[in-house]
Every structure is written in C-alpha cells, then in structure tokens.
Amino acid sequence: MAIELLCRKIGMTQIFDEAGDAIGVTVLDAAPNSVVQKKSVEKDGYTSLQLGFGERRPSRTPKGQLGHFEKAGVAPKRVLAESRVSPEVAAAYEVGAEIPVSIFEVGQAVDAIGQSRGRGTAGVVKRHNVAVKRKTHGTHEAFRHSGSIGAGSYPGRVIKGMVMAGRFGNDRITSLNLKVVKVDADRNLIYLRGAVPGHKNAIVRLRPSVKARH
C-alpha cells in the first residue's frame, strides 16, 4: 500500500563505489509525478492516488482528458496510472501536488514493475532454455525441436504445463529487491543495481520493496 512512482527507463551504465568496484546499474528518469485525482473509500470503495507522468501537448490530448487535467490544475500528462495506497498516505497529498524522486533513499530496497520486451513467436530453446540436440550422426532437422511431448497409450494426452514454442516476452514483470545505489534529485534520476524490465524509454513503476530482506 505504498506509492508506485512512474519513471522512464533510460538505460544501463556502470558506476564505481567507494571500494573502486564497478556496479552495473539501470538509470531511471523519475521526474516529479503529479497527483491528478484522489479516490476514497466513501466515494469509490477504495483509496488510491492517480499519478501523471511526462509532458503532453494540449493539441495532442483528447478533450475529455483535457477537462480532467484542468480540474486538477495540472498540465496534460502522457501517462496516467493509479497507485493503491493507504488512507494515511493519501491524506498526505492533495490534488495538484508533486511527488519527487527524493521519496526513495540510497540503500533502500525497491521493486520495479514493467512490461518486458516482446520477442514474438519463439522456439523452446530460446523460450524455455531446452537443450539443443547433438549435431552428430543420426540427427537431421530436429536440432532445436522440442521432441516428444508425451506417451501415446497412457495417459494419451499432453500433460499441462509442457514447455512448447509460442509467444515470448511482452509480460508484466516485477523485479524484486533492487538496491537504490544513487539518487540525483537535481536531475530527477535514480540508479538501481541490476536490470529493470522493459525497453529503453519504457514506463516503469517503482515502489518500496514488499519482500525486503531484513
């Protein structure tokens, strides 16, 4: 029940810590999120904050959304997303307020939620790491095939969960327990140790870790 800050993935780089070790980090553009709408238990049945991220020209914004933004007193935003929060957290913010990246601190464990890159239709080797058959005598065109998928007489069907070829990627992925290495409040940047799902310029939602190791 914490705020999920909307960020834009810039890419990966490396920085050096105090010991001189290189650390691979993902850089996120965490420009301030604007509170566009508040929802309450009395009116909506649950408590949440609707956050807006990224600038958008009014001429490229639908008229219905323009009225929504004007009512909140904020400039049109490119991305709108709800963040389910507790009533105590919602009470700390008013419509039109901005939530900066400074809500996170160095050393904090966070979760990054994003949409993984789509790979299209992929085979079992790429999709499920199935072993490639030996390219020796007797093996012909089935080097990267899945092979047998079940017995014929009994059970006479394909067991559920059998790994097969199909659509790969383009799924909602949550990377847990990523460590915040650096927070640059002046440039609205946050550096996370490790990889974050999504392509460059993808939208990533950042929240305090729900399974932080103590």
- Over range 151-173, report the average pLDDT: 94
CA 3, 51, 103, 183: dihedral to nearest 10 degrees?
120
d(CA 190, CA 181): 8
Tens-place pLDDT, residues 59-90: 999 999 999 999 999 999 999 999 999 999 99
d(CA 69, CA 55): 12
Tens-place pLDDT, residues 123-133: 999 999 999 99
Q: What is the pLDDT of residue 14?
A: 96
Q: What is the pLDDT of residue 212?
A: 78
How wide is the angle at C-alpha 99 spanned by C-alphas 174 and 107, nearest 5°? 55
Percent of the chain whose pLDDT exceeds 90: 88
Q: What is the pLDDT of residue 137?
A: 86
